[in-house]
Amino acid sequence: MPFTELGLAPELSRAVAEQGYETPTPIQLQAIPAVIAGRDVLAGAQTGTGKTAAFVLPILQALAQGAAGRAPRALVLTPTRELAAQVAESARQYGRHTKTRICVVFGGVSINPQIDALRAGCDLLVATPGRLLDLAGQRALDLREVRHFVLDEADRMLDMGFIHAIRQVLKLLPERRQNLMFSATYSDDIRELARRLLRDPVSVEVAPRNATADRVEQRAYRVPKEHKRHLLAHLIRDGGWHQVLVFTRTKHGANRLAEQLAASGIATAAIHGNKSQNARVRALSEFKSGKITALVATEVAARGLDIKELPFVVNYELPNVPEDYVHRIGRTARAGGAGCAISLVAPDEGGLLKDIERLLRRSLQITATPEFVVTQEPRSAPRPAAPPARASQPKHPPARHPRPSGRSFGSQGGRRFGSSRG
């Protein structure tokens, strides 16, 4: 069924066609008619299935049919700045032939321009919980006119501890409204939140519970922790990778790995919560344009990133929460594309791997580790022992032999790691 048969207004169908889309994805096919009909929706869809358009398009249609005022009539709540910016950009693209006023607010940047934008008038507001509550607390935002409320990435909202903020936001909304809830995974907490939020919802689930994208090739390598970065550098170079998103658990780990990959000649940047919003936007822009080969990210920073035709995702460290594995690898194979997700599994991560496999109800393919060269980091020369207190100091320090900057464990008398035989 083409988009033109979903009941969308001509100006929306035109914008969709200009984006190069002709056929709706399964989530769009099921959700759009339900939202147009005014029903509440509970949608469970793996990331990369086109869920943003599934709620943005029918909401834009409803807004175009209603009377505009200064206060927003639709609210989309997202867990991260990146996802908020992405949803707002999608709304602008799809609403380009309408007069819908779209605003986006999130933390990490000045609040004053956001206040000015809201005062100028807003129809569709995309927001993160913290900044939204800040604006409401300053009385710079009136949510009493909201008729359409979307809770996007609801599972991640709960993982990040936003349940209290969500409850605070709901108190600011009118009782009569349409509620849409989207989640890549379902847990008991998510189902309880849905029970409280939604009224007789249409349930849409286009993938098995907690499933990963069907078109993602998933494989794992067993490798000692201290050799992971060398294997990753080998995979990037040997495979001719031009774009890879790499996940670490911590901000410090992201910074350190980015520095190590850059030192080995691979253009790399890191994004995480300690980076300024401008730095994160710049790194993402350079990654999308091909100036950066490897983007190293923490869980929160990468949540909601939409990178067209991203070919590779690497779990440099397995996540502590198995559901996060689903979110991570969902960055690739988006909107029907193909992709590859690779996990580097250290000996102490065996339990985390089992948790992931239990969630997926399948075993990850353990691939024979390719042969790769390990180079040692330069070690500083030992300091000479302090002379006795009464000893006279030499006029010139003893000569030291310079150490090489690195040493290959390879064909020249060293060791190579990995085996083509597994």
Q: Position 136: which residue type?
A: A
Q: Position 410: which residue type?
A: G
Residues 6+ apart with CB under 8 A from 387: 393
Can you list the residues of the chain whose pLDDT is less than 50?
378-414, 420-422
Q: Tell me, what's the pLDDT at 333?
A: 63
- Whether residue 418 is contained in a domain is answered as no
Residues 6+ apart with CB under 8 A from 121: 68, 69, 70, 101
Q: Tell me, what's the pLDDT at 420?
A: 40
Helix (H) or strand (E) holding 218: strand 216-222
- Whether residue 405 is contained in a domain is answered as no
Q: Tell me, what's the pLDDT at 100?
A: 95
Q: Tell me, what's the pLDDT at 256?
A: 95
Q: Tell me, what's the pLDDT at 94?
A: 95
Q: Comparing C-alpha atoms, which of 214, 194, 229, 160 is closest to residue 326?
A: 214
**Whether residue 367 is found in the same domain as residue 259:** yes
- Whether residue 195 is contained in a domain is answered as yes
**Whether residue 187 is found in the same domain as residue 231:** no
Boundary residue ending a domain (205, 240, 272): 205
Q: Comparing C-alpha atoms, which of 40, 67, 70, 68 is closest to residue 55?
A: 40
User: Residue 164 belongs to what domain range?
Assistant: 3-205
- Whether residue 56 is contained in a domain is answered as yes
- Whether residue 379 is contained in a domain is answered as no
Q: Tell me, what's the pLDDT at 281?
A: 82
**Whether residue 201 is found in the same domain as residue 237:** no
Q: Comparing C-alpha atoms, which of 233, 297, 312, 219 is closest to residue 266?
A: 233
Q: Tell me, what's the pLDDT at 155?
A: 86
Boundary residue ending a domain (355, 374, 393): 374
For residue 40, CA distances in Å to 35, 66, 77, 118 come to 7, 19, 16, 27
- Whether residue 246 is contained in a domain is answered as yes
Q: How many domains does the chain have?
A: 2
Q: What CATH number did the domain enclosing 188 receive?
A: 3.40.50.300
**Whether residue 99 is found in the same domain as residue 136:** yes
**Whether residue 191 is found in the same domain as residue 277:** no
**Whether residue 257 is found in the same domain as residue 136:** no
- Whether residue 420 is contained in a domain is answered as no
Residue 209's CB is within 10 A of a number of other CB atoms, namely 11
Q: Tell me, what's the pLDDT at 401?
A: 36
Concatenate the DSSP letters of all residues of 335-349 into one string. GG--EEEEEEE-GGG
**Whether residue 241 is found in the same domain as residue 356:** yes
Q: Tell me, what's the pLDDT at 418?
A: 60
Alpha carbon distance 117, 226 (integer Å): 49
**Whether residue 97 is found in the same domain as residue 181:** yes
The tokens for 338 are 């193909």
pTM over 0.75: no
**Whether residue 193 is found in the same domain as residue 228:** no
**Whether residue 237 is found in the same domain as residue 170:** no
**Whether residue 156 is found in the same domain as residue 97:** yes
**Whether residue 124 is found in the same domain as residue 270:** no
- Whether residue 386 is contained in a domain is answered as no
Boundary residue ending a domain (350, 374, 398): 374
